[in-house]
């Protein structure tokens, strides 16, 4: 059974950093794509970053490019999201999601309907 669990959220001041973790149990470490999504109050869920489990290539939405970094530790079956230069508009519940689809065939790789494994979210609050 595939289970994805995001953790590491919390309260941070604007300009600060947080690192989120996604534990991907039951999901082959060298297969498919893992992505990070977020959902702010009253807004639709937004895909912000993804990583290929085959070759480690990454993709970022414009809203986080240059500030967030997604990485993978396949030996531990973990995916991380390092968030720097946080802004109040980054406040949201953050989710990790997985798919067996190869990232190079997805456009964009953060399109929600590509993903069929979803974990519970972790809340990130950025104060101004």
Residue listed under structure tokens 């964009």: 108
Torsion of CA 102, 36, 7, 54, to 10 degrees: 20
| Cβ atoms of 67 and 83 closer than 8 Å | yes
What tokens does 37 get?
Answer: 């999504």
Cis peptide before 108 (omega within 30 of 0): yes
User: Could you read off the pLDDT tens digit of each residue along the chain, which spans 128 residues?
Assistant: 899 999 999 999 999 999 999 999 988 888 899 999 999 999 999 999 999 999 999 999 999 999 999 999 989 999 999 999 999 999 999 999 999 999 999 999 999 999 999 989 999 999 99
Strand, coil or helix: 120: strand
């Amino acid at each position: 059974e595939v289970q994805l669990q995001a953790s590491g959220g919390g309260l941070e001041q604007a300009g600060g950093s947080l690192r989120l973790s996604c534990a991907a149990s039951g999901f082959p470490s060298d297969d498919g794509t893992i992505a990070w999504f977020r959902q702010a109050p009253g807004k639709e869920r937004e895909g912000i970053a993804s990583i290929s489990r085959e070759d480690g290539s990454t993709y970022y939405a414009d809203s986080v490019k240059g500030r967030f970094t997604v990485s993978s530790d396949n030996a531990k079956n973990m995916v991380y999201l390092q968030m720097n230069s946080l802004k109040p508009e980054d406040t949201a519940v953050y989710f990790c999601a997985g798919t067996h689809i190869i990232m190079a065939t997805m456009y964009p790789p953060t399109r929600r309907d590509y993903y069929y494994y979803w974990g519970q979210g972790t809340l990130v609050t950025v104060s101004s």
